[in-house]
Structure 1
């Protein structure tokens, strides 16, 4: 078994002039060296080769398709547009990789990637035909096909196969988590709406009531007044509603919350509730 020497530290007591202090002391120890991971080395080399091939494919397609488009448009615009042909299937392949454990979601970028590859190959072949050499056009288009095929096989080697039961379990866990993520903006929207309602109610409560005009609306013996019951908002709920409405200044929160609560709330109470809301946020 191969081993290697490493240096570590330990704390040892040192006594000087009757006082003991723990100090760090270096020491060496030999530890076993794991065997070389050849699978990882091969995959690393494969990624390097795939990167080189992909770069060559993008370069070739950009030059070829750019020369084709340059006949009708300025060179800068032609080569800028030409560079997107291979980048389209590369981007679709990246999306397919991100959705590798969701077959339904990975199907769309997979199909789009192959369509983008066919379009790029047709454009490269058309340039070779226009230049008078269809063979060069076909060979050049095969570069992009080979690059995509190599990347497709490389990414497949990094993907773990899932059984049907495991895939269903993964789908259920993903659906539950995505449902929780979807509730975040919904809860944020509802909090803003509740805060707006609370602020509106607080503004209406602070508006002075002019009362009935004695000349126009005098007391009527046949009219029985309706007794209104006011909903009491707790101090904590009033501060939370003001916070959800987007208010951050404690003085403003104190004024709005006091109006909603119906009685003054101390600044210390408001500050305590605001600190709790900041921690929760």
Structure 2
């Protein structure tokens, strides 16, 4: 039986204290996974074929376009033909668990491949070697076909119920991600309202936060009901929100940060953040 050196943790006690220490032992070696080796070999062959396809199509289409434009622009545009269907094939692989989402990149990849093959065939016709154009176009078709076989082989088969379950999980995760920018937008909108109230409260002569209640002080924490709960944002975030809302005076920013965070900030800290924002704004 074949063995291989490995490390195991074993208990070792010294002076009544036990620790797990590593020791070197010979463990039985697992049998060689020929299926995995063959799959790696096929993937390597597909990568070589794909590289050859990109080189050939770029040279062929670049020479075709070079008859009308300068060579750097011609070859730069030529590489797009193969990169387009390669990118679509990659997106199709990423959406392999959702057949509906994978259908669009699959169709787009086939269209991009057909366009690239037509361009290669056109180069052969223009050059006077239509046979070379046909064979060269088949190189791109074989490359995409080989990669399609490899990727389909690595895609695990799923029944309809499992696919539906996965789509439901992805939908829940997508809804959570979609709510993030929505919450940020709502927070920015509410922050603008709060900043406007703070600015108006700073500029009033009567010192009242509510004209219907002139006996209340503007410094009363209950003077305004704010949607942003104290403690939700820190001083730096509150200064950024105040800046985005149009506040440029340090004193007004200090007042706004105190309302939003629920505690009086350091005026020096607020002033430092404001200076950084002014420097960035130029």
**TM-score grouping bracket, smaller chain normalisation:** 0.7 to 0.9
Structure 1 residue 76 corresponds to structure 2 residue 67: no
Once the 2 structures are TM-superposed, how far is the Cα of residue 116 of structure 1 from its aligned partner? 0.9
Other-structure match for 2:144: 148
Other-structure match for 2:31: 35
Structure-2 separation of matches of 1:137 and 1:8: 61
Structure 1 residue 97 corresponds to structure 2 residue 89: no
Other-structure match for 1:107: 103
Other-structure match for 2:155: 159
Cα RMSD for the two superposed structures: 3.5
Distance 1:200 1:240, change over 3 A: farther
Select 1:67's aligned residue among 63, 86, 90.
63
Aligned 8 A contact 1:192 1:245 in 2: no
Unaligned runs of 5+ in 1: 212-225, 272-281
Aligned 8 A contact 1:202 1:257 in 2: no
Structure 1 residue 57 corresponds to structure 2 residue 50: no
Measured against aligned partners, the alpha-carbon deviations of 1:182-225 in whole angstroms (never above 9, x if no partner) come to 000001111122222222111211213369xxxxxxxxxxxxxx
Distance 1:166 1:258, change over 3 A: closer
Structure-2 separation of matches of 1:189 and 1:244: 15
Aligned 8 A contact 1:202 1:256 in 2: yes
Distance 1:116 1:192, change over 3 A: same
> What SS does structure 2 have at the residue aligned with 1:153?
helix
| Equivalent residues, number | 249
Other-structure match for 2:219: none
Aligned 8 A contact 2:229 2:260 in 1: no
Measured against aligned partners, the alpha-carbon deviations of 1:129-180 in whole angstroms (never above 9, x if no partner) come to 1222211111111111000000111110111122111111111111111001
Structure 1 residue 6 corresponds to structure 2 residue 6: yes
> What SS does structure 2 have at the residue aligned with 1:34?
coil
Structure 1 residue 246 corresponds to structure 2 residue 247: no
Q: Give me the TM-score of the superposition, normalised by structure 1.
A: 0.75
Q: Give me the TM-score of the superposition, normalised by structure 2.
A: 0.75
Aligned 8 A contact 2:192 2:242 in 1: no
Aligned 8 A contact 2:6 2:25 in 1: yes
Structure-2 separation of matches of 1:190 and 1:203: 20
